[in-house]
Chains A and B, each alone.
Chain A
Amino acid sequence: QVQLQESGPGLVKPSQTLSLTCFVSGGSISSGSLFWSWIRQHPGKGLEWIGYIYYSGTTYYNPSLKSRVTMLVDTSKNQFSLKLSSVTAADTAVYYCAREVRGLGYFDSWGQGTLVTVSS
């Protein structure tokens, strides 16, 4: 049973870069049949898909965040990461990592989520 676990600072200052990592256990991140996504949820609000990364490093970012997002994959550590630059209070949210079976589009495994607050 695959498990995903987010980690990273819970507090980031405005204008700085938010950095999170998702560690995958119980399965290989290098499986050619999987995409790895980041999704966020503003407090008390709905879900927003940030983008995905493939084990090869291929990415797709949501155009609404594309100019500020970078995703990387480290197959040797079985993890992938998210960097969001120039953050503001509007980036305060719970950030989830999730797994998608390539070509199917739905998220069948999620991390527990990590709250990131942007504040000075």
Chain B
Amino acid sequence: EIVLTQSPDFQSLTPKEKVTITCRASQSIGSSLHWYQQKPDQSPKLLIKFASQSISGVPSRFSGSGSGTDFTLTINSPEAEDAAAYYCHQSSSLPYTFGQGTKLEIK
């Protein structure tokens, strides 16, 4: 099973100040890494697919990068509504696995 480790676990978010979340895989997964946003009492929402591909309807301030074992989700000029939990997910091999999550709160 591939283990995904996110950092940080928690971060205070200052509006307009760039946020970076990292996800490291226990073995190479190519670009089979996806990012989700989950707001309180909501189901996860797909943000980025295949490490860096944008999703229709997702604000352009969200971007992703990386390949192999190291990946990054960046939120440029975050807004208050971006306070949420963020999860990475690998689909390179079964069973699918998720990172433990990163919780962003408004400072």
Chain A residues packing against B (C-beta within 8 Å): 37, 45-49, 51, 60, 62-64, 96, 104-108, 110-113
Contacts and interface: CB of A to CB of B under 8 A. Distances in A.
Interface residues of B, number: 23
A106 B91 contact: yes
B98 A62 contact: no
Given A47-B98, A48-B98, A105-B34, A110 B44 contact: yes
Contact of B96 (A46, A105, A110): A105
Nearest to A100: B91
Interface string B80-107: 0000000101011011111111000000
Nearest to B96: A49
A105 B32 CA distance: 8
A48 B99 CA distance: 9
Interface in B48-90: 49-50, 87, 89
Given A46-B101, A110-B43, 20 more contacts: A46-B87, A47-B44, A47-B87, A49-B95, A49-B97, A49-B98, A96-B43, A96-B44, A104-B49, A105-B32, A105-B91, A105-B92, A105-B96, A106-B46, A106-B91, A107-B89, A110-B44, A110-B45, A111-B43, A113-B43
B27 to A, nearest CB: 16
Nearest to A60: B94
A111 B42 CA distance: 9
A106 B43 contact: no
A106 B64 CA distance: 15
A109 to B, nearest CB: 9
Contacts of A51: 95
